[in-house]
């Protein structure tokens, strides 16, 4: 881990019109951290990811990447996997991965031919092997199961070698067994590709076991007459390598967290 | 006894049931035609099938005494040419405008309100203008079809473009795609099956504009012929022509459906 933090949020606020979504976010993230984010539905986790991605910009405050404002457009330095719609339905598995390299090397047609194509083929096939999709290379996304589709989305997100990988409830729709496989996969890839990972999840167990650091998003101030007046911030920032699950259950139980969070905490 | 909504006829029964109304219509027609011809053998309103056959034979299998052409085939060829050109022009213009306004906010701003307004102009009301501007030749007929159909296709494609999940466009950007590459590799391939669908839906309007313009100013064509022989009350020509137009329309639609199915399998198997 380098000395300088890679990402810094300084007094970050986000409003949508009168709706305050996020307020007073102050965090620093070093390269190589794996951050999991939990919080009630609608509290702004996806919004935070969107700001990291450059789809949304902060209303106040700064969000810095390497001490420069984060680029205000998505680019290949930050990969993303959404819960769904992440892959291209008109391309086969292999072509879904290759397309990233084609964008890179063929500005006009977005397509590669001949030896350049073969080379990219090899690279993509290798990547598909690491996510366990080599056998499905010529299938279309609609022929894949939910878990396979997310593996594809991950492979696709990794081929351009991004430094940062953003995951928005990537395994939300998967059943527990497959989810476990995906956890192992994502940890492998995180190490192998030296990624900095931000992952939103609704599964608090996942939040614990997976990353190095857990953020809980919640509103510190609350006005029941005007629920939109105050935004959420990061109320707990826990190095989960060390935390013990019961400790967190107590912590999250203290501050009237969301019903969702409570339920999930007691489930686990 | 099952509920009616759960009662599904078996496949052969479905086919039979589907054919039944057609058979019924034909029988009713034959009975009515026979009854009228019984009373007055020169009746023109409901010609018998043999009369229609004879008329069709004359038009399709014997060269015209005046021009030496096979009228029926000449009409078909001219009409299909006009329709094909009109629809092809409409599809290219409509697709381009729909794609640009759907994909680029800076094209949407100036073009979308204009497009909405133009699509509200009744195309047939423009026909006189087209005749004045382009003359009575082929151009004005093709132009009517193109002008009549293009706004519909443009709006349909625009809607389809906007319906492509934003996640895909963002994903493409995180893979380093430029706007142009996104249009070429992500949007256009996904919009082509939708274009075929839009063309299928607009063919009905295409035929309408074709027949209307041929009826008003033409020297051949399917629409021209049926409006010409109307003067002589030649139902023996009109009815087979209508059936033929229906058959052509059906065939075109079917061909487009097949084309879409074989070129864009992923689209038809539920891959968005
Ligand atoms: N484009 C937008 N315009 C206006 N309001 C928005 C927009 N996007 C999000 N919001 C609002 O911002 C708030 C936070 O949304 P966000 O999607 O970040 O929540 P979330 O924490 O990801 O929730 P979930 O767990 O359900 O995914 C919500 O109240 C939502 O209504
Ligand atoms: Mg969300």
User: B94 to chain A, minimum CA–CA distance in Å?
Assistant: 22
Alpha-carbon dihedral angle through residues B122, B123, B125, B128, given to the nearest 10 degrees:
170
| Entry pTM | 0.86
User: A205 to chain B, minimum CA–CA distance in Å?
Assistant: 27
Residue B151 Cα to ligand 2 midpoint, Å, equals: 37
Is residue A215 a contact partner of residue A242, using CB atoms and an 8 Å limit?
Answer: no
Give, in order, the Cα–Cα distances in Å from B214 to each of A62, A124, A175, B218, B222: 67, 57, 62, 5, 8
Domain assignment present for residue B13? The answer is no
Q: Is the CB of A41 under 6 A from ligand 1?
A: yes
Report the pLDDT value the prediction gives residue B155, as an integer from 0 to 100: 95
Contacts 24+ apart (CB under 8 A), B212-216: B212/B124, B212/B127, B212/B144, B213/B82, B213/B127, B213/B140, B213/B141, B213/B144, B213/B145, B214/B79, B214/B82, B214/B141, B216/B127, B216/B131
Taking all residues of chain B, what is their mean pLDDT, rounded to a whole number?
A: 93
The average pLDDT across A123-132 equals 89
The average pLDDT across B67-75 equals 90
Report the pLDDT value the prediction gives residue B272, as an integer from 0 to 100: 66
What pLDDT digit, counting tens, does each position of B210-269 carry? 999 999 888 899 999 999 999 988 999 999 999 999 999 999 999 999 999 999 999 988
With vertex at residue A53, the alpha carbon angle to CA A13 and CA A203, rounded to the nearest 5 degrees, is 80
Range of the domain at B114: 72-264
Domain assignment present for residue B24? The answer is no
Report the pLDDT value the prediction gives residue A247, as an integer from 0 to 100: 54
Domain assignment present for residue B33? The answer is no
* DSSP label of A70: P
Give, in order, the Cα–Cα distances in Å from A125 to each of B72, B222, B239: 58, 57, 61
The average pLDDT across B178-183 equals 95
Q: Decide if B105 touches A, using CB distance below 8 A.
A: no
| Run of H or E residues at B12 | helix B11-39
| Run of H or E residues at A218 | strand A213-219
Q: Give the residue carrying structure tokens 């102050």.
A: A26
The average pLDDT across A175-189 equals 85
Report the pLDDT value the prediction gives residue B42, as an integer from 0 to 100: 87
B87 has a pLDDT exceeding 60: yes
The rounded distance, in Å, linking the Cα atoms of A97 and A112 is 13
What pLDDT digit, counting tens, does each position of A213-224 carry? 999 998 888 777
In terms of Cα–Cα distance, which of A245, A179, A178, A193 is closest to A214?
A: A245
Interchain proximity A162–B270, CB inside 8 Å: no
A254 has a pLDDT exceeding 80: no
A246 has a pLDDT exceeding 60: no
Interchain proximity B184–A110, CB inside 8 Å: yes
The average pLDDT across B46-58 equals 92
pLDDT band, residue A257 (cuts 50/70/90): very low
Residue nearest to atom 25 of ligand 1 (CA): A41
Domain assignment present for residue B32? The answer is no
Give percent of chain B with pLDDT exceeding 70: 99
CATH code assigned at B207: 1.10.3720.10
Is residue A39 a contact partner of residue A232, using CB atoms and an 8 Å limit?
Answer: yes
pLDDT band, residue A250 (cuts 50/70/90): low
Report the pLDDT value the prediction gives residue A255, as an integer from 0 to 100: 41
A263 has a pLDDT exceeding 50: no
pLDDT band, residue A260 (cuts 50/70/90): very low
The rounded distance, in Å, linking the Cα atoms of A81 and B199 is 35
Is residue B124 a contact partner of residue B212, using CB atoms and an 8 Å limit?
Answer: yes
Report the pLDDT value the prediction gives residue B21, as an integer from 0 to 100: 96
pLDDT band, residue A267 (cuts 50/70/90): very low
For residues A127-161, one letter each, b for 16 or more C-beta atoms within 10 angstroms of the residue's C-beta and e for the rest, the string is bbebbebeebbeebbebbeebbbbbbbbbbbbbbe
The average pLDDT across A233-244 equals 75
Give, in order, the Cα–Cα distances in Å from B162 to each of B156, B157, B178, B187, B191: 10, 9, 18, 10, 11
Report the pLDDT value the prediction gives residue B148, as an integer from 0 to 100: 93
Alpha-carbon dihedral angle through residues A232, A235, A238, A240, given to the nearest 10 degrees:
-50
Give, in order, the Cα–Cα distances in Å from A97 to each of A83, A219, B31, B90, B271: 18, 39, 66, 35, 17
Question: Under DSSP, is residue A237 helix (H, G, I), strand (E, B) or coil?
Answer: strand
Residue of chain A nearest B163, judged by CA positions: A85
A268 has a pLDDT exceeding 70: no
Report the pLDDT value the prediction gives residue A2, as an integer from 0 to 100: 53
A251 has a pLDDT exceeding 90: no
- If one counts the domains in chain B, the total is 1
Q: Is the CB of A44 under 6 A from ligand 1?
A: yes
A32 has a pLDDT exceeding 80: yes
The rounded distance, in Å, linking the Cα atoms of A132 and A53 is 27
Domains in chain A, CATH or no CATH each: 7-267 (3.40.50.300)
């Amino acid at each position: 881990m380098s000395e300088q933090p890679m990402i810094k949020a300084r007094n970050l606020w986000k409003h949508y019109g009168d709706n305050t979504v996020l307020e007073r976010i102050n965090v620093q993230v070093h390269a190589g951290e794996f951050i999991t984010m939990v919080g009630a539905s609608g509290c702004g986790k996806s919004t935070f990811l969107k700001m990291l991605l450059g789809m949304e910009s902060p209303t106040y405050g700064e969000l810095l990447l390497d001490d420069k404002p984060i680029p205000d457009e998505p680019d290949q330095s930050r990969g993303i996997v959404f819960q769904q719609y992440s892959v291209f339905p008109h391309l086969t598995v292999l072509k879904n991965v290759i397309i990233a390299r084609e964008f890179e090397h063929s500005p006009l047609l977005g397509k590669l031919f001949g030896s350049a194509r073969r080379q990219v083929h090899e690279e993509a096939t290798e990547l598909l092997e690491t996510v366990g999709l080599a056998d499905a290379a010529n299938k279309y996304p609609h022929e894949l199961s939910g878990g396979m589709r997310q593996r594809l989305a991950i492979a696709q997100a990794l081929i351009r070698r991004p430094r940062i990988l953003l995951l928005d409830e990537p395994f939300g729709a998967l059943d527990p067994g497959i989810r476990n496989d995906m956890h192992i996969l994502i940890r492998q890839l995180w190490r192998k590709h030296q990624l900095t990972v931000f992952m939103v999840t609704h599964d608090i167990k996942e939040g614990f076991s997976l990353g190095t650091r857990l953020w809980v998003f919640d509103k510190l101030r609350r006005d029941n007459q005007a629920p939109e007046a105050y935004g959420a911030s990061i109320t707990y920032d826990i190095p989960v390598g060390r935390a013990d699950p019961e400790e967190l259950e107590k912590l999250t139980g203290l501050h009237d967290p969301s019903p969702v969070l409570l339920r999930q905490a007691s489930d686990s | 006894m099952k509920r009616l909504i759960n009662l599904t006829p078996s496949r052969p029964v479905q086919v039979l049931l589907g054919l039944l109304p057609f058979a019924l219509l034909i029988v009713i027609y034959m009975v009515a035609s026979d009854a009228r011809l019984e009373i007055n053998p020169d009746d023109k309103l409901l010609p018998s099938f043999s009369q229609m056959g004879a008329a069709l034979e004359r038009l399709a299998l014997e060269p015209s005494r005046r021009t030496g052409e096979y009228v029926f085939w000449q009409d078909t060829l001219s009409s299909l040419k006009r329709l094909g050109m009109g629809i092809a022009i409409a599809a290219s213009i409509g697709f381009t405008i729909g794609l640009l306004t759907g994909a680029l906010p800076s094209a949407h701003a100036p073009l979308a309100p204009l497009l909405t307004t133009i699509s509200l102009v009744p195309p047939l009301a423009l026909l006189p203008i087209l005749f004045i501007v382009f003359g009575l030749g082929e151009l004005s007929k093709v132009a009517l079809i193109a002008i009549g159909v293009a706004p519909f296709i443009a709006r349909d494609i625009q809607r389809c473009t906007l319906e492509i999940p934003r996640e895909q466009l963002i994903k493409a950007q995180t893979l380093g795609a430029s706007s142009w590459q996104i249009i070429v590799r992500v949007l256009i391939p996904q919009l082509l099956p939708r274009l075929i669908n839009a063309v299928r839906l607009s063919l009905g309007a295409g035929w309408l504009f074709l027949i209307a313009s041929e009826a008003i100013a033409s020297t051949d064509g399917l629409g021209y012929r049926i409006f010409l022989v109307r003067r002589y009350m030649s139902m023996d020509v009109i009815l087979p022509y209508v059936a033929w137009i229906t058959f052509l329309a059906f065939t075109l639609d079917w061909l487009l459906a097949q084309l879409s199915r074989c070129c864009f399998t992923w689209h038809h198997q539920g891959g968005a």
